[in-house]
Structure 1
Amino acid sequence: MEQIKKLAENKNFTAINIGRLADVKSYSLIHPKTGKEVKGKVFLKEPTLSSGTEISFTTIPPKTELGYFHLHYKDEETYIILSGAGYYQVDDDCFPIQEGSVIRVAPEGVRSLCNTSDVEMVYICVQSKKDSLEEYTTDDGERVSCEAKWRDL
């Protein structure tokens, strides 16, 4: 089983490495609700010490389904398809997806997906509390002067 590698951290960041996308299928976890092993999935909230999002990488083998439908009570999800192709279903709507597809699903949307392609499907899922982004603007921050350490490496 693949292990997450910590690259660096301090009070303002945590950097990890999960390996190549092809390595995601080597991860597994015990699902907290079902108690069953889930292969090809890695969650990043705990290893990155995230306080606002849960991000996961998931793989689905060629010609297979995720295997279940689900919904959330508070969190919306955004799925970003990195490889493979198939179909995504939300409630009664089913539509084709492929590398580059991005799907945002409201908490109450009943969702699942399948991989109909001949290659492994890999996707990222970003989960965050609905309506928690209080402001989206380029004014939330500023550019600062800082020495680029990589120039000395």
Structure 2
Amino acid sequence: MKQIEKISENSNYCAVNLNELNGIRDYSLIHPISKKEIEGKVFLKNITGATGTEISFNSLQAHTEQPYFHLHRKNEETYIILKGYGSFQVDDDCFGIKEGSVIRVAPKGVRGIYNASNEEMIYIVIQSKQNSLEEYTTDDGEKVPYQAKWK
């Protein structure tokens, strides 16, 4: 199992490096329920100390599917396809996806993904509690009173 490289951190941030996206398949984890090893998946919440989202990088080999359909109790998921093409299914709706596709799924939506391409599919999944985002505009940003400079 490949380990995530921590680049730098302090109390305000944590930076990690997963290296090239084609290396995502080298990461794996033990599924907490099935106790089986899942290859090509790396979660970032714990290593980065995230408190509002879980982000994972995922890999599906050519002509394979996620090993099971699933839903969530509280969290919605947003899938961002970075490489490859195939199909995505939510409940009884199945549709084509490709590089650049973005799919948001409500917690109760039963979902699955299939890689129809002849190469590895790579995608990101961002998971967060449904309706937890209180502010989502540039109004949340605040200009600091000094000019930051590159070191």
Question: TM-score scaled by structure 2?
Answer: 0.96
Is 1:149 aligned to residue 122 of structure 2? no
Alignment size in residue pairs: 150
3-state SS of the aligned residue for 2:117? coil
- Tell me by how many angstroms 1:149 deviates: 2.3
Structure 2, gaps ≥5 residues long: none
Distance in 2, Cα, partners of 1:116 & 1:6: 34
Distance in 1, Cα, partners of 2:100 & 2:132: 25
Per-residue Cα deviation, 1:2-54 (whole angstroms, up to 9, x for no partner): 21011111110001111110010000110111110000000000000000000
8 Å CA contact 1:87–1:115 kept in 2: the answer is yes
Distance in 2, Cα, partners of 1:141 & 1:100: 27
Residue 41 of structure 2 aligns with an amino acid whose one-letter code is K
Per-residue Cα deviation, 1:53-109 (whole angstroms, up to 9, x for no partner): 000001000111112100000000000000000000000000000000000000000
Counterpart in 2 of 1:31?
Answer: 31
Percent of aligned pairs with the same amino acid: 59
Counterpart in 1 of 2:8?
Answer: 8
- Tell me by how many angstroms 1:146 deviates: 3.2
Per-residue Cα deviation, 1:83-142 (whole angstroms, up to 9, x for no partner): 000000000000000000000000000000100001100000000000000122211121
Distance in 2, Cα, partners of 1:139 & 1:8: 29
Is 1:43 aligned to residue 43 of structure 2? yes
Distance in 2, Cα, partners of 1:79 & 1:66: 13
Is 1:63 aligned to residue 63 of structure 2? yes
Q: CA RMSD in A?
A: 0.9
Distance in 1, Cα, partners of 2:141 & 2:55: 23
3-state SS of the aligned residue for 1:58? strand
Distance in 2, Cα, partners of 1:46 & 1:74: 19
Distance in 2, Cα, partners of 1:53 & 1:36: 24
Where do 1:2-151 residues align within 5 Å? 2-144=2-144, 145-150=146-151
Question: TM-score scaled by structure 1?
Answer: 0.95
